């Protein structure tokens, strides 16, 4: 199997009739290995060539959903991926043990599940977190690049699509894990700004994503004025780095779990007015 989860289709021939002995790390045959619709060529066609056709037939839609799922399953079956996901999930699980339980997970900015291998790995990590954290609430996802088939794939994993572009300004009332791998600066800042005051200095906002403190050294004066909360947030969070994934080093590079520490919230909260960009209230369906 190739690195990005595709299964190589071998040319048939006598010399290949006897299967090569399996190494102990070979994964079990997946649906993609068995189903001729899900050969490498078909998955590639379904994921890449036709993805811009916005009104596929129901049969074609079903095939594309299956192709994305098979591609994700293949990637998840790879030995290195399994090892990494177990390790990284344990890091997060252990770090959150002493913290108040997470009620919901909100994922912003994961990128294309059909096109981007890092996004696929990040999505597998999301799935792993969901199954290990056993949250009582919901798991939501939004990225403006998602096609309907990607939304359907999420639906199959009980990950709920957010219908509107919240611009990452969701105001939370219960402890929520925001999963925002490699997002843009404005996305983290919008999240901070939306929750700063009501959430007593981000006390209910746990997030996985870039270390925004890192931006402080590189922001121009103009940008520092645009993103004032990066400096303040640096006093709020305890940071736990995600382990490196050597094989696919970009997928989680520089990503941290950020847990709000409990001191000095009262000092920090209220220092900044949030009236300009209030957080979005959840609708009753999403609350
Ligand atoms: C730098 S890319 C990161 C993609 C992927 N996570 C990765 O590591 O390659 C930022 C992502 O944020 C998404 N994005 C932009 N605005 C957004 C918004 N308002 N809400 C959620 N996602 C958004 C973009 O579509 C893009 O997929």
pLDDT at 201: 72
Residues of the chain with CATH 3.40.50: 80-268
Alpha-carbon distance values, 190 to 19, 136, 206, 213, 278 (Å): 54, 26, 14, 15, 9
pLDDT digits (tens, 9 = 90+) for 102-133: 999 999 999 999 999 999 999 999 999 999 99
Whether the pLDDT of residue 10 is over 70: the answer is no
Q: Is the CB of 119 under 6 A from ligand 1?
A: yes
pLDDT at 279: 55
pLDDT digits (tens, 9 = 90+) for 17-41: 333 333 333 334 455 445 555 555 5
Of ligand 1's listed atoms, the one at least distance from the Cα of 112 is 27
Model-level pTM?
Answer: 0.81
pLDDT digits (tens, 9 = 90+) for 91-104: 999 999 989 899 99
Q: Which two tokens stand for residue 108?
A: 């912003």
Q: Is the CB of 209 under 6 A from ligand 1?
A: no
pLDDT at 168: 98
Average pLDDT of the residues in 227-234:
92
Least trusted range by pLDDT, from 125-129, 168-172, 204-208, 282-286 = 282-286
Query: Higher model confidence: residue 11 or residue 88?
Result: 88
pLDDT at 24: 37
**CATH of segment(s) 80-268:** 3.40.50
Q: Is the CB of 164 under 6 A from ligand 1?
A: no
Chain mean pLDDT for the chain: 81
C-alpha of residue 50 to centroid of ligand 1, in Å? 22
Least trusted range by pLDDT, from 13-22, 65-74, 174-183, 239-248 = 13-22
Average pLDDT of the residues in 219-239:
91
Whether the pLDDT of residue 231 is over 70: the answer is yes
C-alpha of residue 208 to centroid of ligand 1, in Å? 14
Average pLDDT of the residues in 215-220:
89
C-alpha of residue 141 to centroid of ligand 1, in Å? 11
């Amino acid at each position: 199997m190739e690195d990005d989860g595709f299964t190589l289709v071998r040319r048939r021939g006598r010399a290949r009739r006897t299967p090569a002995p399996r190494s102990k790390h070979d994964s079990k045959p997946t649906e993609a290995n068995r189903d001729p619709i899900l050969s490498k060529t078909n998955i590639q066609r379904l994921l890449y060539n036709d993805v811009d056709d916005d009104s596929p037939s129901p049969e074609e839609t079903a095939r594309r959903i299956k192709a994305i799922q098979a591609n994700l399953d293949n990637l998840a079956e790879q030995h290195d991926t399994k090892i990494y996901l177990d390790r990284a999930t344990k890091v997060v699980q252990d770090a959150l043990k002493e913290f108040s339980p997470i009620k919901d997970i909100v994922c912003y900015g994961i990128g294309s599940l059909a096109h981007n291998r890092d996004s696929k790995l990040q999505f597998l990590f999301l799935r792993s977190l969901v199954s290990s954290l056993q949250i009582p609430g919901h798991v939501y996802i939004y990225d403006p690049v998602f096609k309907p088939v990607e939304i359907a794939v999420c639906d199959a994993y009980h990950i709920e699509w957010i219908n509107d572009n919240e611009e990452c300004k969701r105001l939370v009332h219960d402890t929520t894990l925001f999963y925002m791998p490699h997002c843009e600066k404005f996305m983290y800042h919008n999240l901070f700004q939306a929750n700063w005051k009501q959430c007593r200095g981000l006390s209910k906002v746990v997030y996985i994503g870039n270390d925004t403190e890192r931006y402080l050294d590189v922001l121009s004066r103009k940008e520092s004025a645009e993103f004032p909360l990066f400096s303040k947030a640096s006093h709020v969070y305890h940071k736990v780095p995600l382990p490196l994934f050597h094989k696919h080093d970009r997928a989680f590079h520089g990503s941290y779990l950020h847990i709000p520490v409990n001191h000095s919230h009262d000092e920090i909260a209220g220092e900044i007015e949030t009236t300009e960009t209030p957080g979005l209230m959840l609708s009753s369906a999403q609350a």
